[in-house]
Amino acid sequence: MNYFLITVNVIIFLVTYSPHYEYHPAYGKILEPLREWATAFELYPKPPLLQLWQFVTYAFLHGGIMHIVGNMFFLYLFGNNVNDKLGNVGYLSFYLGGAVFSGIGYTLISSNPILGASGAVAAITGAYLVLFPNTLVTVIYWFFFIGTVEIRALWFILLKLIFWDNVLAADPSHGIAYNAHLAGYAFGIITILILLAMGLIESNFNDLWSMLRQWNRRRQFRDAVSGGYDPYQASTARKAVSVKQTDQTDPQEQEIMALRGQISDAMNNHNASRAASMYLDLLDHNSSQVLPRQLQLDVANQLMAEGKWPQSAEAYHKFLSRYSNYEFAEQVHLMLGLLYSRYLDKPEQALEYLNKAKDNLRDAGQKKMCQQEIQRLESRD
């Protein structure tokens, strides 16, 4: 669908683009980039020229070659992954919704006609920020010399595309609809966050909504353990332990509680490697220890990233054992299946978890990978 939208935009540009001066009763003589018949499809904020269908049609018009090249470049850069996540129908609806919402945002405070896909592209870019915040974007820079630097999509989009381009460096004399861009970004970010929160889009644990939830859980856990109380190891009676009672706790138990707090702090400070190392120290003190849900999952993921396959598999096992009702258990089943298949050479265990995962996976790419792995293992027999 993303390639279809790019193609449609290019075709419409070739059909409608023709710079000329034209007199508009409401605005006077202006340099109009479109053929005369196409000007009716721009978005006019003022009646009587304003028509409801213009909130869609204006987003398929462009005022110059650089205008359409810039918009289509960013639509290509960020749109494909968002398309994969939303599906073709969802992506098209989202794109058109972004165009409409950015058009509304523009007409509320502006009076000149507007054209261009920038608002809709901003909505797609905002969606990318939420869905893939940790993806690295390669940026070319020049300052006496030319080079490249990789920046997380979260910071590139938030700081460069939104804050710098549309707030700090915004210049109304350039004729750029900054408010339409900001409305598009707001639509993209807020709408995707709501869809993730409602479970209408599957979370992949790395999106902005998951990051916010993880941050909140770590904050709550850090606040809980800062006074010496570990809510996850409380007695079945759930009685709070006073500071005085904590001081009388067995020294080994105090060390375990301190380690749990340090693991949480390390992960909260984005030092996942240190958190994973301290988790292994924690298991040396007491092998039955299980961390809070998201923290346990984060540590298991980090151990896998570090190539500590057996420790990672054990961490995932502990996670499933403690949090058996986890809403995305199929993701953990898939991870365990791949661990046993590709790294631990235990095909029987791999098939057990891959078969658990295949019927519940909702992401088409993951489902295909799971089925291919099952076929590969079964062909070995």
Extents of the domains making up the chain: 2-197
Whether 234 has a pLDDT exceeding 80, the answer reads no
Whole-angstrom Cα distance, residue 111 to residue 158? 28
Higher pLDDT, 356 or 145: 356
Could you tell me the two tokens for 221?
């856990």
Q: pLDDT per residue over 202-220, tens digit each?
A: 776 678 887 787 777 666 6
User: What average pLDDT score do residues 38-53 get?
Assistant: 84
Q: pLDDT per residue over 88-118, tens digit each?
A: 999 999 999 999 999 999 898 887 888 989 9
User: What average pLDDT score do residues 257-284 get?
Assistant: 87
Whole-angstrom Cα distance, residue 239 to residue 250? 18
pTM of the predicted model as reported, rounded to 2 decimal places: 0.59
Q: What is the pLDDT of residue 349?
A: 92
Q: Mark 332-345 as b/e (b = at least 16 C-beta within 10 Å).
A: bbbbbbbbbbebbe
Higher pLDDT, 297 or 365: 297
| % pLDDT > 90, the chain | 35
Q: What is the pLDDT of residue 143?
A: 61
Q: What is the pLDDT of residue 32?
A: 72
In terms of DSSP H, where are the helices of 111-234? 118-131, 153-155, 178-197, 208-225
Whether 27 has a pLDDT exceeding 70, the answer reads no
Whether 225 has a pLDDT exceeding 90, the answer reads no
Name the superfamily (CATH) of residues 2-197.
Rhomboid-like (1.20.1540.10)
Residue 24 bridge partners (DSSP): 28
Higher pLDDT, 32 or 81: 81
Q: pLDDT per residue over 165-186, tens digit each?
A: 888 877 776 778 888 999 999 9
Find all residues with CB under 8 Å of 201, minimum gap 6, and list them: 85, 86, 131, 192, 195
Q: What is the pLDDT of residue 73?
A: 93
Could you tell me the two tokens for 91?
């992506």
User: What average pLDDT score do residues 315-324 get?
Assistant: 90
Higher pLDDT, 33 or 246: 33
Quickly count: other Cβ atoms within 10 Å of residue 359's Cβ: 9
Find all residues with CB under 8 Å of 369, minimum gap 6, and list them: 334
Q: What would the DSSP string read from start to end of 37-84?
A: GGGGGSB-SSTTT--TTHHHHGGG--SSHHHHHHHHHHHHHHHHHHHH
User: What average pLDDT score do residues 329-353 get?
Assistant: 91
Vertex 67, ends 65 and 73: CA angle to 5°?
95
C-beta of residue 203 within 8 angstroms of C-beta of residue 209:
yes
Looking at residue 233, its amino acid is Q
pLDDT tier, 328 (very low <50, low <70, confident <90, very high otherwise): confident
Residue 48, preceding peptide bond in cis (omega within 30° of 0):
yes
SS3 15: helix
Find all residues with CB under 8 Å of 375, minimum gap 6, and list them: none
pLDDT tier, 15 (very low <50, low <70, confident <90, very high otherwise): very high
Q: What is the pLDDT of residue 239?
A: 42
pLDDT tier, 60 (very low <50, low <70, confident <90, very high otherwise): very high
Give the chain's mean pLDDT: 83
**HSE value, Cβ hemisphere, 13 Å, CA-based, for 105:** 22
Whether 246 has a pLDDT exceeding 50, the answer reads no
Q: What is the pLDDT of residue 231?
A: 47
